[in-house]
Amino acid sequence: MAQVLSTPGVYVEEKSAFASSAVPVATAIPAFIGFTEKAKRGSKSLLNVPTRITSLGEYHNFFGKGAQAKFNIAENEESGYTLEIDKATAFSLYNSLKLFFNNGGSTCYIVSIGSYSSEVGLAAFTGEESGGGLQSLLKEPEPTLLLSPDAVLLSEEDFNSFQQLMLMHCGNEMKNRMAILDVYNGDQTRTMDDEDIITKFREAIGTNFLDYGTAYYPWLNTTITKASELDYRSIANLDGLIAMLTKDVDAQVSSGKIDESRGNAIKEEIAKATADSENIKNVDNTLLAISPLYKQIIADVRKARNVMPPSGAMAGVFSMVDNSVGIQKAPANVSLGSVVSPTVNITSRIQEDLNLPLNGKAVNAIRSFPGKGVLVWGARTLDGNSQDWRYVNVRRTLIFIEQTIKYAAERYVFEPNIAMTWVKVSSTITGALYNAWRDGVLAGNTAQEAFKVDVGLGSTMTQQDILDGVMRVSVKVAISRPAEFIVITFQQQMAGGEGGGEDEGGEGEEGGE
Q: Write down which residue in 353, 372, 393 finishes a domain.
A: 393
Query: By C-alpha distance, which of 443, 312, 334, 320 is closest to 379?
Result: 334
Amino acid at 303: K
**pLDDT confidence of residue 51:** 98
Q: The domain that contains 195 carries what CATH number? A: 3.40.50.11780
Residue 327 lies in a domain: yes
Element (H, E) at 363: none
CB 222 within 8 A of CB 304: no
3-class secondary structure, 355: helix
Q: Write down which residue in 332, 359, 393 finishes a domain.
A: 393
3-class secondary structure, 375: strand
Residue 293 lies in a domain: yes
**pLDDT confidence of residue 489:** 67
Average confidence (pLDDT) over 379-389: 94
* Same domain, residue pair 68 and 79: yes
Number of domain units in the chain: 2
* Same domain, residue pair 175 and 242: no
* Same domain, residue pair 147 and 167: yes
Residue-wise pLDDT for 32-73, tens only, equals: 999 999 999 999 999 999 999 999 999 999 999 999 999 999
Amino acid at 394: V
* Same domain, residue pair 165 and 175: yes
3-class secondary structure per residue, 276-305: CCCCHHHHHHHHHHHCHHHHHHHHHHHHHH
* Same domain, residue pair 86 and 153: yes
**pLDDT confidence of residue 500:** 45
3-class secondary structure, 255: helix
Query: By C-alpha distance, which of 323, 372, 318, 376 is closest to 346?
Result: 376
**pLDDT confidence of residue 501:** 43
* Same domain, residue pair 281 and 354: no
| Spatial separation of the C-alpha atoms in residues 365 and 343, rounded to whole Å | 12
**pLDDT confidence of residue 2:** 62
Longest dimension (CA), the chain: 115
Residues ≥6 apart with Cβ < 8 Å to 69: 85, 86, 89, 90, 91, 234, 305
Domain holding 317, by residue range, is 30-224+307-393
Q: How many alpha carbons lie under 13 Å from residue 406 in its C-beta half-sphere?
A: 11
Element (H, E) at 500: strand 500-511
| Spatial separation of the C-alpha atoms in residues 481 and 330, rounded to whole Å | 8
| Spatial separation of the C-alpha atoms in residues 409 and 139, rounded to whole Å | 20
Q: Write down which residue in 258, 285, 305 finishes a domain.
A: 305
Q: Counting every residue, how long is the chain?
A: 513
Residue 438 lies in a domain: no
Element (H, E) at 178: strand 178-182
* Same domain, residue pair 98 and 178: yes
CB atoms within 10 A of CB 472: 14
Alpha carbon 275 to its chain's center: 36
Amino acid at 120: V
Average confidence (pLDDT) over 194-203: 95
Residue-wise pLDDT for 457-510, tens only, equals: 999 999 999 999 999 999 999 998 777 666 766 777 777 654 444 444 444 434
Residue 400 lies in a domain: no
Helical axes 260-271 vs 238-255, angle rounded to 10°: 170
* Same domain, residue pair 202 and 267: no
